[in-house]
């Protein structure tokens, strides 16, 4: 019972709020985790509303672990980076999808432990490999204070507000939980919840709602919900959670728990209120791993959620420490996937899609087929060689597989079912979007559209590259703004940027007057550029900053470059046959030359002159790497000086590196240079070399 005020028959507000929170957390655990509710939904809702009203009347009573905080509603501008106290490392994948893959792992473990054939079998924990989104939940003094995505393993994103909306995740732990506890697990969406969500989405679309869509699969829907900036939207998505491990935890010497096995750890997580998959089991030796793999594989389609394999972990934590890691992957764990699911269907057509960088990809349009728990209507053929190798033709009956349970692909053709007259696929030699030539360079498998400045499919990429700070540089012209400009039809080619006025910009969504003025000013400023920057900004394949500088130095004028033959281009320093042909092909396209002329007509200017005399280049043939902060030069300025002297500036250190120029706070590049015996110099020594 809740204590009462001495002068009232009603409990004090703080005491009643605490009592309500305890009751609601208890019943949420019974409902979401144990699937054994003790009270009807109406009674839970009544208690919930009472707590909501109490917290509204007494805001000081609102706590982070209150069940009312699952409702969501806070909208964030962006996610805050979170550096994991213990990295969220990936585990190795066993490539043998047959049961022998389990034996392979057991053999590797026994060999690493130095066990003989006569020694006892190793005990493992066998778990499911969920098809969801990895998550780290941090509790301090029993309260959920942070939830972070895996990110790159070292740094993730803070998604705490969205994770609070998931009923299965405790907001407060029992009193025996350690002061610091990071629980690692998987956010996922059940198949029935996914189907219900898509039904709602289809109803919205049918009612004429704008911006709504159906979701491709449960994993994408779950990941999208977790990364919603509006936690109110996230709260409407039916997400679930399974725990499978730990990150940081208070050590035993400071009062934390002392686990001996991974299974004990999982059972303690379950006791603290975290869902742990009921299929999790101890498997002793290879035979039991094989049996687990086969048992789960046979029941995979009957599970209420998607998995793409199972995971084996050495049970003893002491043995885990002995086994350690290799290339940041634990030797004591492995993911054992199942063969991708396959189905038969028919090829209705073969279309060619053009990517953001001009790559042409043949795509088989299929009679709809249900594969890997989604309806597949398209499958990539990758490139012309692959399509020819598999001999995929319109009308063919094909085997379709979701490779890695993500990307649908055509595995094989059934030639005996091929209709008469089916024609061999040939990649078009003109871009299907803009009509420019499509070429395949020597040594490459992909055809690419050469109309980079003109092609609608490449429009966004071309604009972003042109506006890059190392190219023409239009400050403030980022991804989101370019997307708006292109999608709205305001900008169709690069010259359209310079025809933009304040009114057109200010009319865009979320574009304030001041921001519009800044973009107009930035565009005007960008008109004054240099020939190397302009050349680099055109996005000619294989023409980077250094090559653009060499071209400008050699020819002096853009018209000479546009009119140069392959032989003349080969005379430029470091320009080989592939680069020369790429430049020639680019300027052979009338569209690209027209864009250059229009940019000049819009006022984009640079200094031109006679070809520079071939002055001695003291650092020709030398490779430098820059690291740290220099006393007087920025990294970009140092790079420019080195390249002007003929040096190549690389981004990473290797045995081929001649010098590493190290400044303050130099990091891993300096360490690698020292380990490889590469010469390390400072800014002063570099400047002396340039002046020699």
Q: Which residues are catalytic?
A: 129
Identify the CA nearest to 661 among candidates 632, 638, 645. 638
CA–CA distance, 240 with 133 (Å, rounded to integer): 11
Q: How far apart are the first and last CA of the chain?
A: 87
**Sign of dihedral through CA atoms 425, 429, 435, 436?**
positive
**Residue 643, token pair as written in the block:** 């390249």
Structure-block tokens of residue 546: 């250094």
**Under DSSP, is residue 139 helix (H, G, I), strand (E, B) or coil?**
strand
For the chain, what is the total number of helices (H) and then of strands (E)?
A: 25, 24
Among the listed residues 154, 135, 179, the one whose alpha carbon sits nearest the alpha carbon of residue 275 = 135
Contact status, residue 362 vs residue 387, Cβ threshold 8 Å: yes
Characterise 650 by phi-psi region: left (phi > 0), alpha (psi -120 to 50), beta (else). Answer: beta
Residue 244: closest CA among 99, 65, 91: 91
Bridge-based pairing of strands 374-380 and 360-371 is antiparallel
The 10 Å CB-count burial string (b at 16+, else e) for 77-116 is eebeebebeeebeebebbeebebebbbbbbebbbebeeee
H/E element, 497: helix 494-497
Task: Tell me the pairing of strands 679-681 and 659-662.
Answer: parallel
Distance CA 612, CA 554 (A): 6
Q: Rg for the chain (alpha carbons), in Å?
A: 31
CA dihedral 283, 284, 285, 288 (to 10 degrees): -40
Of all residues in the chain, what percent are helix, strand and coil, respectively (each to 5)? 40, 20, 40
Tokens of 429: 């030699």
């Amino acid at each position: 019972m809740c204590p009462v005020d001495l002068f009232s028959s009603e409990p004090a507000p703080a005491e009643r709020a605490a009592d309500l929170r305890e009751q609601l957390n208890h019943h949420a655990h019974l409902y979401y985790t144990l699937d054994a509710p003790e009270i009807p939904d109406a009674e839970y809702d009544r208690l919930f509303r009472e707590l909501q009203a109490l917290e509204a009347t007494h805001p000081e009573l609102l706590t982070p672990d209150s069940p009312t905080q699952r409702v969501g509603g806070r909208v964030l501008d962006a996610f805050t980076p979170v550096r994991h106290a213990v990295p969220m490392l990936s585990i190795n994948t066993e490539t043998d999808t047959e049961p022998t893959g389990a034996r392979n792992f057991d053999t590797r473990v026994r060999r690493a432990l130095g066990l003989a054939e006569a020694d006892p079998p190793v005990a493992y924990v066998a778990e499911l490999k969920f098809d969801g989104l990895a998550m780290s939940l941090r509790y301090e003094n029993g309260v959920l204070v942070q939830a972070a995505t895996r990110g790159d393993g070292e740094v993730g994103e803070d998604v705490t507000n969205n994770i609070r909306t998931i009923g299965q995740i405790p907001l407060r732990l029992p009193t025996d939980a350690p002061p610091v506890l990071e629980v690692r697990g998987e956010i996922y969406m059940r198949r029935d919840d996914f189907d219900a969500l898509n039904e709602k989405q289809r109803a919205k679309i049918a009612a004429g709602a704008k911006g709504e869509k159906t979701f491709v699969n449960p994993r994408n829907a779950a990941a999208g919900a977790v990364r919603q900036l509006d936690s109110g939207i996230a709260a409407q998505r039916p997400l679930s959670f399974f725990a499978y491990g730990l990150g940081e935890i208070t050590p035993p010497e400071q009062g934390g728990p002392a686990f001996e096995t991974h299974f004990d750890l999982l059972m303690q997580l379950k006791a603290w209120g975290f869902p742990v998959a009921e299929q999790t089991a101890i498997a002793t030796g290879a035979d039991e791993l094989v049996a687990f793999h086969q048992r789960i594989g046979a029941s995979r389609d009957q599970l209420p959620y998607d998995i793409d394999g199972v995971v084996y972990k050495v049970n003893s934590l002491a043995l885990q420490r002995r086994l350690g890691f290799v290339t940041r992957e634990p030797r004591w764990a492995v993911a054992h996937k199942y063969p991708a699911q396959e189905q038969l269907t028919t090829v209705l057509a073969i279309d060619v899609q053009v990517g953001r960088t001009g790559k042409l990809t043949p795509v088989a349009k299929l009679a709809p087929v249900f594969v890997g728990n989604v309806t597949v209507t398209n499958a990539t053929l990758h490139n012309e060689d692959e399509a020819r190798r598999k001999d995929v033709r319109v009308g063919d009956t094909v085997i379709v597989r979701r490779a890695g349970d993500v990307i649908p692909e055509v595995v094989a053709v059934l030639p005996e079912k091929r209709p008469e007259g089916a024609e061999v696929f040939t990649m078009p030699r003109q871009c299907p979007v803009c009509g420019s030539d499509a070429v395949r360079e020597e040594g490459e498998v992909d055809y690419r559209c050469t109309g980079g400045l003109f092609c609608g499919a490449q429009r966004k990429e071309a604009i972003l590259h042109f506006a890059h700070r190392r190219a023409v540089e239009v400050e403030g012209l980022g991804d989101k703004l370019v997307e708006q400009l292109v999608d709205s039809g305001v900008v169709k080619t690069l010259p359209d940027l310079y025809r933009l006025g304040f009114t057109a910009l200010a009319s865009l969504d979320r574009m304030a007057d001041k921001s519009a003025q800044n973009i107009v000013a930035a565009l005007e400023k960008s008109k004054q550029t240099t020939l190397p920057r302009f050349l680099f900004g055109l996005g000619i394949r294989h023409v980077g900053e250094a090559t653009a500088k060499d071209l400008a130095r050699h020819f002096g004028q853009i018209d000479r470059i546009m009119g140069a033959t392959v032989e003349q281009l080969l005379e430029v320093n470091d320009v080989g046959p592939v680069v020369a042909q790429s430049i020639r092909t680019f300027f052979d396209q009338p569209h690209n030359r027209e864009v250059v002329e229009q940019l000049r007509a819009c006022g984009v200017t640079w200094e031109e002159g006679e070809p520079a005399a071939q002055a001695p280049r003291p650092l020709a043939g030398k490779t430098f790497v820059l690291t740290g902060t220099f006393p007087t030069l920025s990294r970009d300025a140092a790079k420019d000086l080195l390249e002007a002297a003929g040096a190549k500036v690389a981004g990473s250190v290797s045995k081929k590196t001649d010098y590493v120029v190290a400044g303050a706070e130099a990091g891993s590049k300096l360490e690698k240079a020292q380990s490889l015996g590469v010469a390390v110099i400072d800014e002063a020594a570099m400047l002396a070399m340039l002046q020699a």
